[in-house]
């Protein structure tokens, strides 16, 4: 799967990427992605890193995690907290939109 194809298909939650494909699409270091999976920043299906499969949405999450790590110099727990808070904000904003309040 080419990077261009992955970029276009990444929005489809049914797309599954391997560890290598996720790293390529998100421009994240493989070792860092392994740490993020072990610390719960990213979700992977499969037992070992060789078997891991990531949903398409993991590309966006890995890109944000990479940016938080590099640009803001956050450690892994800080990245996990920031992403959790961003997820909560996004969910609240969706609820407001559904309620017609935003």
Contacts 24+ apart (CB under 8 A), 41-45: 41/65, 41/76, 41/79, 41/80, 41/83, 44/19, 45/16
| Contact indicator for 36, 42 with CB cutoff of 8 Å | yes
Q: Architecture of domain 3-98 in CATH?
A: Orthogonal Bundle (1.10)
pLDDT tens, residue by residue, 36-79 = 999 999 999 999 999 999 999 999 999 999 999 999 999 999 99
Residue ranges of the domains in the chain? 3-98
Residue 56 has, within 13 A of its CA and on its CB side, a CA count of: 13
Q: What is the pLDDT of residue 101?
A: 80
Q: What is the pLDDT of residue 12?
A: 62
| Contact indicator for 44, 26 with CB cutoff of 8 Å | no
């Amino acid at each position: 799967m080419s990077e261009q194809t992955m970029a276009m298909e990444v929005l489809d939650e049914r797309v599954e990427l391997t560890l290598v494909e996720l790293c390529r699409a998100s421009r994240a270091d493989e070792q860092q992605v392994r740490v993020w999976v072990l610390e719960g920043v990213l979700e992977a299906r499969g037992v070992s890193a060789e078997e891991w499969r990531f949903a398409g949405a993991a590309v966006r999450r890995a890109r944000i995690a990479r940016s938080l790590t590099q640009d803001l110099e956050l450690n892994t727990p800080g990245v996990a907290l920031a992403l959790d808070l961003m997820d909560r904000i996004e969910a609240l904003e969706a609820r407001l939109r559904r309620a017609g309040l935003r």
